[in-house]
C-alpha cells in the first residue's frame, strides 16, 4: 500500500489519535465479543511502546447523533485496560473543552479512549467543524478502523484535511495488502466462492471479478436467484425477483469471458428454518413446490471441493447455507474444510462467513480473515475506500 504507515512516523511525546473499530457487541454492560479489540492491539501497543500519548476514538452502534448512555464506550475502556494490562482513561465526550483538558493530562505511554463519535451528528455527516475539533486533539492521526474505511465520516475522512499527517495502522495496512493482492497480482487459478443472503450485496463483486478469476462457485440463498433466472422453479427458496435480470446479464458476461460459473447441482431442503428440522436432499436444478433450499447438497460440496483443491488463490464471501441452524451448517463447513486444506492463499470476507469459519474451528488455517464485511466488499467491487484514499501518500 502506498500510504504512510504508523511505523514510519516519530511518535515520541506526540499526541497520536488512532481511529479504531470498537463497534463491539455489548451484553449487560460488558463486551461479549472482543475480536475487534484484539485486532487493533498491535497498533495500540506499538504507539504506547513508542511513548506516544495515545488517544483512541471509535463509534459504537447507531445512536444517530444523540447521546445514548447504553452506547457508551466505557465498558470497552474497562475491557481494553484488562487486555493492555494497564490503565485506560475514559473521556466524557469526544470533542470540547473537557476532552481537550483530558488529552492535555495524557502522558507519554498512556492511553485515553474518547466517547462514542456518533453521539455527534457531525461524525456521520462528515461535518467540517466536527472534523476540525477532532483534528485539534492530535499531532498525528492514524486510521486502523478498516471496518469503517468505506464510510466518508469525519473521523475517517474529513479529519485528514486538518492534520499534519494521516497514517494507516497495522490492521488497515494488512487488510489492504491482502485484499489488494487479490485485484493486483493474484496467483492463478483464482476461485471466488460467493454465497450468503442477497444477490444485491455481492453482485458488484461478481461483476468486478469476471475476467480476474477462473471460476465462481455460488451457494447460499443467492444461488437460487441465479437458478430462477436460468428458468427453474425454486419452491419456497429465497429468490430476489427484482434481481433476475441482473443475474441473467451476469451469467452471460461470465460465459462471454469464459469464466466457469458453477451453481449447485443438488440441495438440502426443508419446509421451514428451525433447528433439527427434517431435511431432504434433492437433485437440482428444480426445487419441489413447498420446499426451501437451505444448504448445498453432497454432490455440490464434492464438485466445489475439486475446484478449490486446484486453486492457488481463493476469495470466499457468504455462507453456503443457513449455517446458524444445524444441520444446515454442513455445506458451509465442508467448504471451509476444503478451503483450509487447499495449499493456496485463502482470503475470507464477511462477518457471517468469518463466524462460520471460526465455528468450524478452521480460522487459523486461512491466510487472512477480513475484519470489515462492507469495506472488503466495496474494495473488491473496485471502489476506492474514502478512509484509505484520505491517508497521506508515501513520498
**Residues forming the active site:** 36, 198, 351, 374
Residues with Cβ within 8 Å of residue 2, at least 6 apart in sequence: 393, 394
Q: How far is the CB of 328 from Mg ion (least distance, A)?
A: 16
Show contacts with ligand ADP in window 114-173 (CB under 6 A).
none
Show contacts with ligand ADP in window 187-226 (CB under 6 A).
196-197, 201, 220-221
Cα distance between the two ends of the chain: 12
Q: How far is the CB of 351 from ligand ADP (least distance, A)?
A: 4
Binding mask 335-354 for ligand ADP (x = CB under 6 A): ---------------xxxx-
Helix (H) or strand (E) holding 327: none
Q: Tell me, what DSSP letter sits at residue 10?
A: -
Q: How far is the CB of 376 from Mg ion (least distance, A)?
A: 12
Q: How far is the CB of 354 from Mg ion (least distance, A)?
A: 9
Residue 193 grid coordinates: 466462492
3-class secondary-structure state, position 374: helix
Q: Which of 122, 147, 297, 318 binds ligand ADP (CB under 6 A)?
A: 318
Per CB under 6 A, the segment of 41-49, 53-61, 247-255, 319-327 that binds ligand ADP is 319-327
- Whether cis (ω within 30° of 0) applies to the bond prior to 87 is no
User: From Mg ion, ligand ADP, none, which one binds at residue 9 (CB under 5 to 8 Å depending on kind)?
Assistant: none
- 319 is a site residue for ligand ADP (CB under 6 A): yes
Show contacts with ligand ADP in window 271-300 (CB under 6 A).
293-294
Contact 12, 51 (CB under 8 A): yes
Unique residue bearing C-alpha cell 507519554: 108
Distances in Å between the alpha carbon of 374 and those of 32, 147, 167, 219, 240? 22, 7, 21, 19, 20
Residue 325 grid coordinates: 441452524
User: From ligand ADP, Mg ion, none, which one binds at residue 321 (CB under 5 to 8 Å depending on kind)?
Assistant: ligand ADP
Q: Which of 76, 287, 322, 385 binds ligand ADP (CB under 6 A)?
A: 322
Amino acid at each position: 500500500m502506498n500510504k504512510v504507515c504508523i511505523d514510519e512516523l516519530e511518535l515520541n511525546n506526540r499526541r497520536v489519535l488512532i481511529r479504531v473499530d470498537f463497534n463491539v457487541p455489548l451484553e449487560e454492560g460488558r463486551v461479549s465479543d472482543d475480536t475487534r479489540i484484539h485486532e487493533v492491539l498491535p497498533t495500540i501497543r506499538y504507539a504506547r511502546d513508542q511513548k506516544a500519548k495515545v488517544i483512541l476514538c471509535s463509534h459504537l452502534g447507531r445512536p444517530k447523533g444523540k447521546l445514548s448512555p447504553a452506547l457508551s464506550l466505557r465498558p470497552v475502556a474497562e475491557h481494553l485496560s484488562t487486555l493492555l494490562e494497564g490503565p485506560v482513561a475514559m473521556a466524557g465526550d469526544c470533542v470540547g473543552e473537557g476532552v481537550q483538558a483530558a488529552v492535555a493530562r495524557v502522558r507519554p505511554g498512556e492511553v485515553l479512549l474518547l466517547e462514542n463519535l456518533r453521539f455527534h451528528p457531525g461524525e456521520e455527516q462528515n461535518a467540517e467543524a466536527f472534523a476540525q475539533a477532532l483534528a485539534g486533539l492530535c499531532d498525528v492521526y492514524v486510521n486502523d478502523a478498516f471496518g469503517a474505511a468505506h464510510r466518508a465520516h469525519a473521523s475517517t475522512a474529513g479529519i485528514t484535511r486538518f492534520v499534519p499527517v494521516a497514517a494507516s495502522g497495522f490492521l488497515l495496512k494488512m487488510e489492504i495488502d491482502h485484499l489488494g493482492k487479490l485485484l493486483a497480482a493474484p496467483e492463478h487459478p483464482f476461485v471466488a466462492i460467493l454465497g450468503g443472503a442477497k444477490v444485491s450485496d455481492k453482485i458488484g463483486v461478481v461483476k468486478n471479478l469476471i475476467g480476474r478469476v477462473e471460476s465462481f462457485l455460488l451457494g447460499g440463498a443467492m444461488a437460487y436467484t441465479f437458478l430462477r433466472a436460468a428458468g427453474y422453479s425454486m419452491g419456497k427458496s429465497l429468490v430476489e425477483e427484482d434481481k433476475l435480470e441482473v443475474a441473467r446479464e451476469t451469467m452471460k458476461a461470465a460465459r462471454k469471458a469464459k469464466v466457469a460459473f458453477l451453481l449447485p447441482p443438488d440441495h438440502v431442503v426443508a419446509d421451514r428454518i428451525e433447528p433439527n428440522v427434517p431435511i431432504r436432499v434433492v437433485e437440482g436444478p428444480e426445487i419441489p413446490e413447498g420446499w426451501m433450499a437451505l444448504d448445498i447438497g453432497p454432490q455440490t460440496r464434492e464438485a466445489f471441493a475439486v475446484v478449490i483443491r486446484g486453486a492457488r488463490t481463493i476469495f470466499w464471501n457468504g455462507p453456503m447455507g443457513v449455517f446458524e441452524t444445524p444441520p444446515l451448517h454442513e455445506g458451509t463447513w465442508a467448504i471451509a474444510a476444503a478451503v483450509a486444506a487447499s495449499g493456496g492463499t485463502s482470503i475470507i470476507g464477511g462477518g457471517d462467513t468469518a463466524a462460520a469459519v471460526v465455528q468450524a474451528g478452521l480460522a487459523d488455517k486461512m491466510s487472512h480473515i477480513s475484519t470489515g464485511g462492507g469495506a472488503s466488499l466495496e474494495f473488491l467491487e473496485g471502489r476506492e475506500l474514502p478512509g484509505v484514499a484520505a491517508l497521506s501518500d508515501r513520498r
